[in-house]
Amino acid sequence: MIRALLFDVDGTLAETERDGHLVAFNRAFADLGVPWRWSAARYGELLKVTGGRERLLFDMQAQREAPAGAAARAALAARLHGLKNEHYARIVEAGGLALRPGVGELIEDCAANHVAVAVVTTTSRSNVEALLGRHFGPQWRARFAALVCAADAPRKKPDPEAYHVALRQLRLGAPDCLAIEDSPAGLAAARAAGIGVIVTRSHYFPDTCGPGTLAVGDALGEPAAWDPPAAPGAARIDLAQLARWHSAINAPVASACHG
Ligand code: XBP
Ligand code: MG
């Protein structure tokens, strides 16, 4: 039985990286007269580094125009990151980031079946507040039994810290929970906490797969081509389908991802 569903944010609830954070980072560079911009392809490489500030600092190692000293780089990264998050909030507010197909319906399933919903992310809390407030209205917080963001778990995914904090907030054990993730780092973090994972592939992470993946597919709202397959005739991946996959956690059905 699933007692809680733990959602990653970026790439899982919405395509926030391509359509939100990347656009917002480039606007922040322009704001401060920073002479470089990130292409969509370069941003894909940079996503190996979790955390927007960490990503900026990593990239500065390759930018000839970056300030020389560590303190100056840290200060610039902090200013850019703050501005980036302001731009991100504006993009969300303008309706630029829809929930991915099937996400809203699955959260409704959870409410109807008394299954707790949690958010487990390495993104800043302000980004989560903007996104969830836009989609679930002013009372959005009441829908989530736990909310773990960057400041709650400084060791970012693939470290399992964010998932450990979520289990403590939920007062549940890993076997009662199921995580939904898109990235290899997110999959690794949940697995290291002992939690089974459903992978919804995203724009930047089209190949995520590995031991502990109970099922992988393109989107919760697209029931075709899941591995293992969803029940015939399903209109979407619903809570009952997740429960069937979750019940196979100790004896996974043969699939490309099960190791
Ligand atoms: C996403 C991240 C974040 C975002 C940007 O992780 O690594 O850094 O890219 O957000 P997850 P911040 O998929 O686990 O949410 O700039 O706030 O870090
Ligand atoms: Mg993600």
159 lines ligand 1 (CB under 6 A): no
Ligand nearest to the CA of 159: 1
* pLDDT value at residue 243: 97
**Domain-located, residue 251:** no
8 lines ligand 1 (CB under 6 A): yes
pLDDT digits (tens, 9 = 90+) for 86-118: 999 999 999 999 999 999 999 999 999 999 999
**84 and 188 share one domain:** no
**128 and 203 share one domain:** yes
Q: Would you list the DSSP string of 51-94?
A: SHHHHHHHHHTT-TTS-SSHHHHHHHHHHHHHHHHHHHHHHHHT
Q: How far is the CA of 204 from the centre of ligand 2 (A)?
A: 9
pLDDT value at 240 more than 80 = yes
**In the listed set 26, 58, 93, which residue is the last one of a domain according to the structure?**
93
The CATH number assigned to the domain holding 30 equals 1.10.150.240
Counting other chains too, the contacts that 229-238 makes at CB distance below 8 Å and 24 or more residues apart are 236/101, 236/102, 236/105, 236/106, 237/102, 237/106, 237/198, 238/105, 238/106, 238/109
pLDDT digits (tens, 9 = 90+) for 189-225: 999 999 999 999 999 999 999 988 999 999 999 999 9
Residue 101, amino acid: P
**Domain-located, residue 205:** yes
Say if CB 50 and CB 157 are below 8 A apart. Answer: yes
**In the listed set 93, 112, 131, which residue is the last one of a domain according to the structure?**
93
The count of domains in the chain is 2
**110 and 163 share one domain:** yes
**85 and 109 share one domain:** no
Beta bridge partners of 255: none
* pLDDT value at residue 205: 97
**In the listed set 69, 93, 117, which residue is the last one of a domain according to the structure?**
93
Q: What is the atom index within ligand 1 of the atom nearest the CA of 181?
A: 13
